[in-house]
Structures are given as structure tokens and as C-alpha cells.
Amino acid sequence: MKFARVGVALAAAAIVVTACGGSGGGAGKALKIGISLPLSGSALASAGPADKGARLAIKEFTLAGYTVAPDVKDHAVNGVHDPQQGAKDMTAFAADPTVVAVVGPFNSSVAKVQIPISNEAGLLQCSPANTNPDLTKGDAGKQLRAKQPDKINYVRVATTDDIQGPAVAQYGYQTLGLKKVAIIDDTETYGKGIADAFAAEWTKLGGTVVGREGAPKGTTDYTAILTKFKDSAPEAVFYGGVTSTGGGLVRKQMPQAGLGDLVYLGGDGIQDGPGTTDGSFINIAGEAAANSFSSVAAIAEYPGKADFDKKYQAEYGEAPGAYSASGYACAQIVLKAITTAAGKGDITRESVRAAATDTATTFDTVLGPVKFDAVGDTNQKIISLYKVDLTAAGGKGDWIFDSQVNYGN
Amino acid sequence: MTAVPATNDAGRARSGAGLRPLLRLLVPVAIVVAAWLYMGPEQFVNAMTRGAIYALIALGYTMVYGIIELINFAHGDMFMVGSFVSLSFLTRLGFSGAITNVGLLAVVIVATFVFSMVVMGLIGVLIERFAYKPLRRAPRLAPLITAIGVSFILQNVVQLFYGPFQTNSPKIFPDTWFLQFAGARIPILSLFIICVAFGMMVALQLFIGRTRLGRSMRATAADRDAAALMGVNINRTIAITFLIGSALAGAAGVVNGLQYGVSRFDDGFQAGLKAFTAAVLGGIGNTVGAALGGFIIGFIEVAAVVAGYGRWGPAIVFGTLVIVLVFRPAGLLGQQLGERA
């Protein structure tokens, strides 16, 4: 049944190609780029801009003899990224022969289940935002691509938490001059990982970790943990996790526990838009969000920013989000690989994958030149740091870019 | 405290010369004192506050079980709906931040409690009327599955109106009010919550023990058919049980909003699970047991954090439950609302 349908689709495509062959113009062989992101509920605030960025790049793209269109699949369930749904979507992409590459996912937990599927299908995947090191590096990375270990099919433009966590530690210790920190994580892949990386760097710098606690998603009461922290008099609290697993609640409960004046540090998990966005960190923490700092594993002051901002504004009538340019860059990389593949002959999943993961190629993206290493990680190791300004966004508060640090060589 | 052990006591008391009642009083007091000394006053109050919320929810579970032997899985979600009712009420009235005027604060809080409890009580009665009553003579599994269905409906309706986000509940009680006590910093809000919870529990005990309606409830719980033959209006009694249980969930919702300031459509799951555990721990069907179970769980969780095993909190709670059930299958205080004198 399925093969029959594919056959019909191919035949139809062939007819279209023959019919329009030589006439040029828009019509041609139809290719699709899958976009796999969580795009509803509270996930939309952070992942939506990446989707818009990717679609903008695809819209601008032209290649004679081909039409390239986005195929967007939302894997948010009840407003939160859902690994199971992400796996289903990736299976659907893998089964659709017109899909030659996928942009996404957004969350490391989703990537963990998607990579084995896309690896088996030999389907190129570019994530704008995944930061967990184990997705690519070491034995953990090898396990995810067990089906075709020598064919790297997953690349990402965000740098990893083993750089992001320490970057926040360095900012807190050196720039803010803090010495004693207490740490809470949400016990998940991303949250515990970034908290561990932060703690290791903090100690290495000479700071003290005076408390370390974990509280899973669904915890509503952090008073006992905060009261315990208070006895060891920290100057800051670091939260490893995202807003929906407790990042906002912890900050909100700190004043009541008498810790309202402390600095609050976090990774990109709490950097999810202004106070006007429902369910965002600043929205939940409210007044207590003052004096909070976070990082984003993406370059904030990228070379093409002015142009990109203008284009994005014209297309969507709003300013780009933290991951808009990353989504755009991922699509650029995929599209460049398609162009390269077309130049060498046929556009197939394999030729696109090979072109994108060639370690000798430098991609000229909106984020600047990007090159991938042997496991698909970017050479652009830049972390941007943000600070909450409660007067921004019409008094509702927003994250304001503070500085960026390049950890590349 | 329950009828069965009480008879045993009466038998033994003749020879044992009243030593056991004294011990019964001393053991809990000793545990409370030990907890206070171990945790210090601040964590003690944290544990009491947390326990108070669990206890208020657990009461509804235990009352419904006591009277119609239904594990009302939707009860945790009633608590969640209660917190949304209270936050909507406050937001509609235009409150967003702390109210520092004591008089106004008192009026607003009382109004919120009354509104939320009345609305939730009515919702509880409606759910009983349309979802559980038609199944009263059906096999036990039918209402159980229905309860799970009601739970989903409540979650989805809330999600429809408020979205799947965490929604802010106005923190009208000032964060800056606290008592300085022996070097400890005790939030007045926590003390207020503990007092409210105790007040409601005492009122509930008096209602069940001293009023005509309470006697009907006990009679229905003990033997529904016999109670009906004696002229107790069974339908009305069951409806009132749901009314009170759901109103208490509404009160817990208000308290949750005041304390944590955030609600989400799936809050009821965790809270419901903890409260159900509390009810079983104390002896399901037994109102004093449910309240006791709620506080015990609050104390276990906070003690786990104090001891440095915060990550193991849920495991310790359920481990305790298993151990208690191995030695006392009917829970700490035994079952049955009805047989309590």
C-alpha cells in the first residue's frame, strides 16, 4: 500500500518534472525540509522564533529545477515538548521520500530519541538549540548513531552545556564577583547536566558551592530547600533546568524565604522571552525576577544581525527571538548542502547529508562562518549572557543582552 | 481511636491501669518535639504548611471513600480547579500584588475562601449528581474509571481557559511579614495557613461528631441500607459529603495560591497523589487519619531535605507508606468514618 502510494507520488513528480522541464521558473522537483519543533503552549515562546527563522530562509531560497518547501510538525503535547511525539514526527519524516533534511529539534531530550531514527534513515538533521554534550560526543553520542556510526547526520549550531554551564560560572564569579553559590536542578538530562558543569567550573575558579539540591518537575514547594540554603548564606542561587520544571517558581519563592536579594543564575532554560509571554520565567517570577542572569548558547551580536532583524521584522512584524537567527542559520546550512548536492549531480538524502557534514566546508551563515567537527558540533563556541530588566517590555520586564564570550580557539 | 481497638483497650484497661492512653499521648508529643529540635523552627513551620495543604485535600478523599467506597481520582483536580477559581476571583477584583492594609486583606481573604469553597462545593455536588450517582449500584470499577474520566475533563477544561502554562495567582499576602523567633524567620502567611487548616479540621470533626447531618453521614458510612431504613436521606447525605469534601479542596486551592502564587492545569496530579497517600497512610475513611497522614508526609518531605536527601523525598514517602501498610494494613488510625464515636 505504502509503496504503491510512494510510486504514484514519484510518478506524479516525474510527470511534473517532464512537463515543466526546461521551462525553468518556480515549478520543479519538489523537495521538503522538515521542521520539527515544539510549537504550541508554553513551548511556543522559545521555539516559535526558531521556526519562523527557518521558514524565512526556506522562503528566500531558490534553486533552478527544484522547489523547496517547509514541512512543519509540532511535537508539543499539552504545551510542553514531548519526546514520544518527536519520535513519531521523525519517523514520519523518514518515511516521506521528498523530505531531504530536518531542522530541529529544540530540546535535548527530544534529540535523544530522534537521532537514532534519523541516523537509520540517513536523514540530515540540524538543531538550532540543543546543548546537551552527550548527543554527539563520546560513547553516548556513538550509541545514539549506532545504526550508521560512520555517517554523521546530526549537526547543531548551538554550542554545548559543557561550555554554557562554565560560562555562567565564570560570569558569576569573575564579572559579578560572587563567591558562594547554592544550586538546584530539576533532575532532568539538561538541568542536571548544566548544573554539574556549572558546579565543576565554580569550584575550579575558587568559589564554594554551599548547597546542592534536586527537585523534579511538578514540585510546587521549594521553601524547605531555600530555608536550608539560607543557613549557609549563599550570595547566589543557580537553577539548572527550564522555567516549566520550576525555574520561575524557585525565584518566586525566594523573597518569602528571605533570599529575595540574592543573585539568580541560570542557563538558556530560563531565557524564554519577556514578562508579557504567558508562563515565561519573568512572567512567573514577577518582581522577584530582578537581579537574574542567564545565558544563551547562541551568538547575540552576530555579523548579519542588522540585515536579519530588518528582514524578520518585515516578514513577521515582530523582532526576532533568541533563537530566530539559529533557526535561520540551520536552514541556511541545509539549503547550502542541497545546492552543493545539486551541483555534484543528484539531490538525495545521502548527498545532502554528506555535503552538510563535510568537516572541510565552512558555511557562511547569518551567525557568521560555521564549521562542523567530526561529530557534528559547531566550531562557533559563543555564549551570550543576558540580564533581567524589569522596566523593559512596557514595565513587564525582559531579558537584556549583556555580553558575549567566545570560547572558540 | 477507632472502635475496634477501642474495645480492646477497654478490655485491657481494666488490668493495665490507664497506661496506654498516656503512652498514646506521649508518643506523638515526643515525635513532634523531636522533629522541632531536629529541623529547627523554620523548617518545622515549612513542614506544617506543606502538610496542612496535603491534609485539606486528603480530607476530601477520605470522606468520599468513607461514605461510598470510591477512590475519587478527580479529587486532586478539584484542588487544582479550586486554585484557578480563587486566582480568577482575585484577578477579576483587580488585585495583583500584596495588600498591606490588614483590614482589607482580611476581607479579601475571607471573600476568596467563601467564593472558592462555595463554587467548588457546588461543582462537587454536580459531579456527584451526574457522574457518580447513576453508577451507585454499578460494579465498583465503573465509578473508578468515571472518576479518572472526570479528572481528565477537569484538566482539559482548565487548559482550554487558561492554557497549558503556569498561571500567576495574585500573592495578596505580603512576603515581607514575618515573626522573628529565636533567630528564626517565620512567615506570618505560613502561620495563617496552619491556623486555617486546623480551624477547618476542628470544624469538620465537630460537624461529623456533633450534628444531625454528621450523624447521617456516619450512619450512611456504616451501613447504607440500614441508614436508609432508619429514615436517613442517602442521596442528600452523599451530596453533602461531596459538597464538604470539594469545598475543602477549594480551600486548599486558595491556600496554595496564597502560598506559592502559581497554578497549572496538571497541579492536581501530584497533589492528589500525595493527598491520597496521606489518606491511606492515616487509614482511608478516617478523617483524623487523613489529616495526620497529610502532616506526616509534609514532615517526611521536609526532613528528607534537611537530612540532605531531598532528591529521595518521594521515594521515602512511599517507602514509609509501604512499611506502615505492612504492619498496619488499615493505616495508622484504622479505617471507617462511620465507626468513629
Q: Which amino acid, A63?
A: L
Burial of A22 (0-12, 13-18, 19+ CB in 10 A): exposed
Which pLDDT value is given to residue A303? 83
Instruction: Give the pLDDT score at A409.
Output: 58
Q: How confident is the model at residue B7 (pLDDT cuts 50, 70, 90)?
A: very low
Whether the pLDDT of residue B11 is over 50: the answer is no
pLDDT category of residue B336 using cuts at 50, 70 and 90:
low
- Whose grid coordinates read 549557609? A232
Say yes or no for a CB contact (<8 Å) between A224 and B165.
no
Q: How far is B336 from chain A (nearest CA, A)?
A: 31
- CB distance from A42 to chain B under 8 Å? yes
| pLDDT for residue A14 | 47
Distance from CA of B239 to the nearest CA of A (A): 31
pLDDT in tens, B76-108: 999 999 999 999 999 999 998 889 899 999 999
A chain contacts of residue B306, beta-carbon cutoff 8 Å: 224, 228
Are B165 and A279 inside 8 Å of each other by CB? yes
Closest-CA residue of chain B to A217: B270
* Cα separation, B10 vs B55, whole angstroms: 30
Q: Which residue has the higher pLDDT, A111 or A301?
A: A111
Q: Judge whether B281 and B297 are in contact, CB under 8 Å.
A: yes
Q: Does the interface predicted TM-score (ipTM) exceed 0.90? A: no
Q: Supply the mean pLDDT for chain B.
A: 89
pLDDT higher than threshold 50 for residue A157 = yes
User: Does pLDDT of B269 surpass 60?
Assistant: yes
**b vs e for A357-389, b when ≥16 Cβ sit within 10 Å of the residue's Cβ?**
beeeeebebbbeebebeebbbbebbbbbbbbbb
Q: Is the pLDDT of residue A13 over 70?
A: no
B261, B269, B305 member nearest A225 (Cβ):
B305
Q: Which residues of chain A neighbour B266 with C-beta distances below 8 Å?
A: 78, 218
- Report pLDDT digits (tens) over A333-360: 999 999 999 998 889 999 999 999 999 9
Mean pLDDT score across all residues of chain A: 89
A187-192: average pLDDT: 87
Say if A303 is an interface residue toward chain B (CB within 8 Å). no
The span from the CA of B40 to the CA of B184, in Å, is 8
Q: Cα–Cα–Cα angle for B55, B56, B61, nearest 5°?
A: 85
Which pLDDT band holds residue A23 (cuts at 50, 70, 90)? very low
Query: Mind telling me how many Å the CA of A400 is from chain B's nearest CA?
Result: 23
Which among A41, A220, A224 is the nearest to B46, CB-wise?
A224
Q: What percent of chain B has pLDDT over 70?
A: 93
H helix or E strand, kind and range, residue A116:
helix A108-121
Cα distance from N-terminal residue to C-terminal residue, chain B: 9
Of A214, A220, A248, the CB nearest to B267: A220
Residue A297: its pLDDT value, please?
A: 84
Q: pLDDT > 90: what percent of chain B?
A: 70
Sheet of A236-240: strand order equals: A208-214, A180-185, A236-240, A263-266, A292-296, A382-389, A398-406
Please, which residues have CB within 8 angstroms of residue A394's CB and are 6 or more apart in sequence?
A276
Crossing angle, helix B287-307 and helix B19-68, to 10 degrees?
Answer: 110
Cβ A249–B301 below 8 Å, yes or no? no
Interface with chain A: mutation pick from B45, B87, B91, B166, highest number of A CBs within 10 Å: B166
Asked whether B45 and B197 are in contact (CB, 8 A), the reply is no
Mean pLDDT of B289-295: 94
Residue A224 contacts B where some CB pair is shorter than 8 Å:
yes
Which pLDDT score is estimated for A45?
78
Q: pLDDT tens digits, residue range B185-240?
A: 899 999 999 999 999 999 999 999 999 999 999 999 989 999 999 999 999 999 99
B163 → closest Cβ in A79, A215, A227: A79
Cα–Cα distance for residue pair A248/A286, rounded to 1 Å: 9
Q: Which residue has the higher pLDDT, A378 or B28?
A: A378
pLDDT of A296 reads 87
Could you tell me what percent of chain A has a pLDDT over 70? 93
Is residue B17 scored above 80 in pLDDT?
no
Report the predicted TM-score, pTM, of the whole model to 2 decimal places.
0.83
> In the structure, what pLDDT confidence band is assigned to residue B18 with cuts at 50, 70 and 90?
low
A237 burial (CB, 10 Å; 0-12 / 13-18 / 19+) is: buried
Residue among B97, B261, B302 whose CB faces A224 most closely: B302
Size of the A and B interface in Cβ pairs below 8 Å: 93
Closest-CA distance, A248 to chain B, in angstroms, reads 9
Q: Which among A224, A225, A278 has CB closest to B163?
A: A278
